[in-house]
Amino acid sequence: MTERAFQDYYPDDVSHCYGCGRLNEKGHQIKSYWDGEETVTHYTPEPYHTAIPGYVYGGLIASLIDCHSTGTAAAAAYRAEGRGMDTEPALRFVTASLHVDFLAPTPIDGPLEIRGKIKEIKGKKVIIESTLSAGGKVCARGEVVAVKMPDAMKPKA
C-alpha cells in the first residue's frame, strides 16, 4: 500500500482548495509527505504556468508554498499530539500569513521540489519555513503562519 499524503486525509467538504484539494479537478492537487523531520512535495509545472518564457510564474510558486506549508502545519499538529491524521478531533489549518522571497528565476522545464520545516508550533499557530527548488537549486523561500481554522469558519456549499 502506498503512503497517504497529508491532503488525502482532508475530509470531502474541505477538499476543494485550488492548491491542494483532491476534489478540485482544475487545481494543483499537491501531495505532501513526511521525510524525516521535514516534509516534501513535488510538482511539475505546465507550459502555461509561464512568467516569462522558460520561467515559472511567481503566483504558482506562492500557491505551492502556501498549500504545502498549511498541509505541513496540519501534519505537524497531529504529530505533536502523537496521533494519526485520521483520528478525532480534526485539526484544520488556514493561512494567516504567506511570505515568499523569489531568490532566482525558476526554470519551467522540470519538476519542482518544495520542502517544509517546522519553525514554531504553539497554541493554535504553526510557523512553517519552506523552500522551492529546481534541479537542486533553491529558487524561492517562504514563511507561512498557519492558524487553526476557527469553528465559525464552516465551508459554504
Query: Cα-atom radius of gyration of the chain, to the nearest Å?
Result: 15
* Residue 125 makes contact with ligand 3VV by CB under 6 A: yes
State which of positions 22-61 bind ligand 3VV (CB under 6 A).
none
Angstrom distances, CA of residue 63 to CA of 26, 36, 57, 85, 107: 14, 24, 10, 23, 16
The single residue among 23, 103, 104, 153 that binds ligand 3VV, judged by CB under 6 A, is 153
CB atoms within 10 A of CB 129: 19
Binding segment (CB under 6 A) for ligand 3VV, from list 16-24, 27-35, 100-108, 129-137: 16-24
Which has the closest alpha carbon to 119: 99, 145, 95?
145
Cβ 143 vs Cβ 119: under 8 Å: yes
Binding segment (CB under 6 A) for ligand 3VV, from list 26-34, 78-86, 91-99, 134-142: 91-99
The single residue among 41, 62, 66, 126 that binds ligand 3VV, judged by CB under 6 A, is 66
| Nearest distance in Å: CB 90, ligand 3VV | 8
Block residue for cell numbers 522545464: 109
Nearer to ligand 3VV, 29 or 106 (CB): 29
Block residue for cell numbers 512568467: 51
The single residue among 5, 17, 85, 139 that binds ligand 3VV, judged by CB under 6 A, is 17
Number of H helices, E strands in the chain: 1, 6
- Contact positions toward ligand 3VV, by CB under 6 A? 10, 14, 17, 19-20, 66-67, 70, 92, 94-97, 123-125, 145, 147, 149-150, 153, 155
